[in-house]
Structure 1
Amino acid sequence: MSTPLWITATPPDSDGELHIGHLAGPYVAADVLSRHLRADGQSVLFTTGTADHADSVEVRALRGGRKPEEVAAGFRTAITADWLRSGVEFDHVVQPRRDRGYQRWLQDLFLDLYAKDVIAPRTRLLPYCEPCDRWLYGAHVTGVCPHCGTRGDGGLCHTCARPNDGDLIDPVCSLCGSPGRPRRCRRLYLPLEPLRELLADYWRSAGLPPRLAVLCEGLIEDGLPDVAVGHPGDWGVPIPVDGFSGHRIDACFEAAAMHLFGYGYDKKPLPERTIHFSGFGHSFCHVVLLPAILVARGVKLPQEIHVNETYRIDVEDARGPDGKPMVWALDLLTEFGSDTLRRHVLQARPLGRRTDFRRDELDRTRQMLDGTWNSWLTRLFTAVREECAGRVPDAEPGGDGWEALRRRLHRAAEDVREAYGPEAFDPRRAVAILDEVVRCATDFGYVNVFERRRPSGTARHLAPLMAQLAVASALTSWAWPVMPEGAGRLAQALRLAPGGPVVPEALAPPAPGTRLAPPSGPVFGF
């Protein structure tokens, strides 16, 4: 029995709510692929987690005078609610502070790597804040990345994706702003250089996107680093190694290992195919640390990575009608609905280059759905109600230009299927093709509306209605991965089951005599 195709998305830090940039990154795109494959009859496991032990959670708690577990719990609830409202459906979301056996599993993995000398102690300089009496690592420190020269937090640079542990230029405490003073600190590291050949072989065979290939080849050329996998602190999973009492497992190492727990690693065979969705700033965990953990244990996991760049948010361009910034997923989902927001972030997805969020472009996305998709469906449902008493007519699809349109729609189905598939995944192209399908159906409807005025009284106007109902039926499957809420409403109106495979055969109207049940409001969006 073959294993399911495993899809993962980067666990977000539980230090705040999801904003539109998160949705434009890994989550909606990964859900599109998952929905398409499931509808096609393939077995899929779609997982993520919440990075409850991220350093940023502790920093936010310290700034607000709260306990980090309270911060993590509150935002974990908000994040999972935002996923649900946006239609992103995971099979398993790892919750580190709630999942039974998680902490023991992570510590056992850590101990196994330590016993194999994959993890080893090193003494290195690390910034220390004397006023706060605290070691500075991760989100506790800001400084200039020694690799790319941009300013950011410690740990991993979100611009170049390289680790900068202890190497930040001009380190400053994130809490009090005091300069970090270098001190010798003995910690546990995962040296990557001993795994050079195994990792290089893995990267060569993985077919990495150019952006990640450059990262990995640069790491090899410069000498693979020793990656800190623990630090002295109070927040996180305790390190179970003698001599390191008071140390915690690093959040980046945990984020990489969390995927394995979500899959059920050590309990079932690893999948034949894995597809990761990640922002470039977090890609080190996916493309370096996770393979390093596995190859060190003698496992080569076939992985593919879809990496996105940053979706920049200009607060001035993101203000709502009341003048308040509108960037949070909850606010935008409440105002625009999941169909509009999902469709928009797929169109604006920062693939290969950074893109910008603009409120006016989101408004235009809603106008497109209302003025084209919903307008056409409203006219179609009205025509069926007025001319056929609300029931599907007993006629074959037809009308002027139908045969040419049908051939075009069959080609469109194949193109959409390709754009949804893992080999040529391109949801932006899928959205463009679906728009063209609706525009063609709209034009076809306008051309054939004159059939009802024939003096001969023949029922030739029914065939174009059936043809448009066939297109509407197809959209309950073809649009399902992008806009599942609207596709579900459309399926309910047509008395069909939503989410079928994306195939030309979906272009078939409901059975004659079926009483339609159009929604009282818009079908797609609101």
Structure 2
Amino acid sequence: MSTPLWITATPPATHGELHIGHLAGPYVAADVLSRHLRADGRPVLFSTGTADHTESVELRALRAGRKPEEVAEGYRVAITADWLRSGVEFDHIVQPRRDRGYQRWVQNLFLDLYGQDVIVARTRLHPFCPSCERWLHGAFVMGACSACGARADGSLCHECARPTDADLIDPVCALCGSPGERHRCRRLYLPLEPLRESLADHWASTESSPRLAALWESLLEDGLPEVAVGHPGDWGVPVPVDDFRHHRIDACFEAVVMHLFGYGYDHKPLPERAVHFCEFGHAFCHAVLLPAILIARGVKLPQEIYVNETYRVDAERAHGFGGEAGVWALDLLTEFGSDTLRRHVLEERPHGRRTEFRRDRLERTRQVLETTWNNWLTRLFTTVREDCAGVVPDAEPGGTGWEALRRRLYRAAEDLREAYGPEAFDPRRAVAVLDEVVSCAADFGYVNVFEQRRPRRGGRRLPTITAQLSVAVALTSWAWPVMPEGAGRLAAALRMKPGGPVVPEALAPPAPGVRLDPPSGPVFGF
């Protein structure tokens, strides 16, 4: 059996619930690719984890007067529930505080790298808050990125994706607002410069966006950094080095090796191909630190990285009922359903550029599903009930314009395969093609409705019904990666199994005599 294609998505920090930006970023898009490949019969492993040990979790706990583990566990449950409700189905979600053997595994890997001098100790100036008596790292410090000047915390700059750590300009304590003082601090680092040649070769062979390539090339030109992999603190996985027992493993390092733990790379063959989904601001972890660790371990892993930009929220237009910002995944899923939300975030996906969330556009998405998709299906099911007693007629697909429409639909199937596939993945294009398929089928139905009014119509009406039913059957496969809930309801109505391969051959009506079971409500969305 061949090794699976490995798909990962960035582990979210468990300091809050998922919001619309998370769904528009890595998670729904990665699920679309996973569903398509599975339907095509290809082995897939789709994994992620929850970043329970980020400093933002501890910061939130301190502000709320709670324990960090309580915050992490509460939001871990909420996040996994949001994934489930949005139809994002992982094979494995690493739970750092629950998975057996996780902490020891991470510490052993860390210790191996330290023993090989891949991880080394350095003494450098680092921000310290005298008021809180705390070293400022990660979410505990805010300042300006020394590379691009954007506002950033002490982990990664979300604007240029470079590590910030101790290099922030004008650091300020996020807990009390006091300016940070720079004191000497001895910590553990992973220097990337000794891996320059291997990293350069790896990046040259990696499929990526021009912006990601620009990050790699600028890092090589400026000199590869030494990445902090530990910090003084009480929250997180303890550093397993005697002189640093009061330190914790850095959250970025942990998020990277979390993927390796989830795959189990040290006791089974690595995949021939890995695809990582992340926001550009998190790209350093996937694109730089992960291959550096693998290279240091003597492992070669071909990678592709799909990065998305920021999905911005316009506070003026994003408000829901009660005057509160309606951007949380749970609220939007409850109000609009997974079909509408998934379709919308894919259509608005911030790919190559930043896009903006607006409720009026989400409402338009709901209207498109209602007035085009559901309206056509309702008319089709009504026609089957009234003209055929609710069963599939015994007639070959046909009608005025059918041959031209069938050729167009075959081309649409090929376009969908391309848009869903890893070689030219473009979920925005998939949404546009699906809309075209439904619009063409609806137009075909309107044109041929007059067959019933012809005095000598004979059985001319029945082929137009089976023609439209064949499009409906195709959608149970073609729309499955984007809107699995609606595709499942449609398949149930047609007495079929959803989620078949996205191929032209899916365009075939149900067997004659099958009694349809249309839902009482909308098929797609609600």
Counterpart AA for 1:53: H
Over the matched positions of the two proteins, sequence identity in percent amounts to: 79
Q: Which amino acid aligns with 1:499?
A: G
The question of 1:252 aligning with 2:236 is answered no
Whole-angstrom CA distance in 1 between matches of 2:121 and 2:60: 29
Partner of 2:269: 269
Q: Secondary structure at the match of 1:152?
A: strand
Conservation of the 8 A alpha-carbon contact between 2:451 and 2:457: no
Does the 8 A contact of 1:24 with 1:311 survive in 2? yes
Alpha-carbon distance in structure 2 between the residues aligned to 1:280 and 1:456: 63
CA RMSD, Structure 1 to Structure 2 (Å): 0.7
The count of residues paired between Structure 1 and Structure 2 equals 526
Q: Deviation string for 1:96-139 (max 9, x for gaps)?
A: 00000100000000000001000000001110000100000000
Q: Does 1:73 align with 2:78?
A: no
SS in 1 for 2:332: helix
> Alpha-carbon deviations, 1:25-57, whole Å to 9, x = none?
000000000000000000000000000001100
Shift of 1:297: 1.0
Alignment-derived partner of residue 149 in structure 2: 149
1:274 CA displacement: 0.3
Alignment match, 2:185: 185
What amino acid maps onto 1:450 in structure 2? F
Aligned to 1:474: 474
One-letter amino acid matched to 2:464: P
SS of 1:182's equivalent?
strand
Q: Which residue identity lines up with residue 447 of structure 2 in the other structure?
A: V
Structure 1: how far apart are the matches of 2:10 and 2:456?
A: 63
User: Distance in 1 between the 2:475 and 2:319 partners?
Assistant: 33
| 1:332-378 Cα distance to aligned partner (Å, 9 max, x none) | 00000000000000000000110000000000000000000000000
Alignment partner, residue 517 of structure 1: 517
CA contact (8 A) 1:229 1:250 kept: yes
Counterpart-to-counterpart distance in 2, 1:301 and 1:151: 34
User: SS of the counterpart of 1:422?
Assistant: coil
Following superposition, the deviation at residue 209 of structure 1 comes to 1.3
Q: CA deviation at 1:486?
A: 0.1
Amino acid at match of 1:22: H
Moved more, 310-319 or 9-18: 310-319
2: CA distance, partners of 1:320 / 1:238:
42
Is the 1:452–1:459 Cα contact (8 Å) retained in structure 2? no
Residue 484 of structure 1: aligned partner: 484
The CA deviation at 1:82 is 0.2
Q: Give the superposition deviation at 1:233.
A: 0.0
Counterparts of 1:185 and 1:125, CA distance in 2: 6
Distance 1:175 1:37 in 2: 45
Distance 1:436 1:198 in 2: 46
Q: Where do residues 49-198 of structure 1 align in structure 2 (5 Å cutoff)?
A: 49-198=49-198
Q: In structure 2, how many angstroms separate the alpha carbons of the residues matched to 1:321 and 1:330?
A: 14
Aligned residue for 2:242, secondary structure, equals coil
Q: CA deviation at 1:456?
A: 2.0
Find the residue that maps to 2:221 and give its secondary structure: helix
**What code does the residue aligned with 1:271 have?**
P
In structure 2, the residue matched to 1:222 is 222
Cα shift at 1:207: 2.7
User: Quick check: 1:273–1:303 contact (8 Å CA) kept in 2?
Assistant: yes
Query: Which whole-Å CA distance do the structure 2 matches of 1:48 and 1:502 have between them?
Result: 26
CA distance in 2 between counterparts of 1:262 and 1:157 reads 26
Instruction: Report Cα offsets for 1:450-491 as digits up to 9, x if no partner.
Output: 111121251110000000000000000000000000000000
Aligned to 2:412: 412
Give yes or no for contact 1:475–1:487 (8 Å, CA) kept in 2: yes
Give 1:267 shift: 1.1
1:287 partner amino acid: A
**Structure 1 residues 444 and 66, CA, compared in 2 at 3 Å: closer, same or farther?**
same
Q: Does 1:358 align with 2:358?
A: yes
1:293-341 residue CA offsets vs partner (Å, 9 max, x unmatched): 0001111110000000000012221012443210000000000000000
Q: For residues 301 and 361 of structure 1, what CA distance do their matches in structure 2 show?
A: 40
| CA deviation string 1:411-453 (max 9, x = no partner) | 1000011100000000100100010000000010000001111
Q: How does 1:398-477 map to 2 (within 5 A)?
A: 398-477=398-477
- The equivalent residue for 2:280 is 280
Q: 1:218-243 CA distances to partner (integer Å, 9 max, x unpaired)?
A: 11111111100000000000000011
Equivalent AA in structure 1 for residue 360 of structure 2: D
> Which whole-Å CA distance do the structure 2 matches of 1:406 and 1:5 have between them?
33
User: Any runs of at least 4 consecutive aligned residues in structure 1 with deviations exceeding 2 A, and if so which?
Assistant: 321-324
* Structure 2: gaps of 5 or more residues: none
Whole-Å separation in 2 of the counterparts to 1:511 and 1:323: 51
Question: Which amino acid in structure 2 is aligned with residue 92 of structure 1?
Answer: H
2:75 alignment partner AA = F
Q: Which stretch shifts more, 149-158 or 506-515?
A: 149-158
Structure 1 segments unaligned to the other structure (5+ residues): none
1:493-512 residue pairs with structure 2 within 5 A? 493-512=493-512
Per-residue CA shift, 1:177-225, capped at 9, x if unaligned? 0010000000000000111111111111113211111111111111111
SS in 1 for 2:331: helix
SS of alignment partner, residue 139 of structure 1:
strand
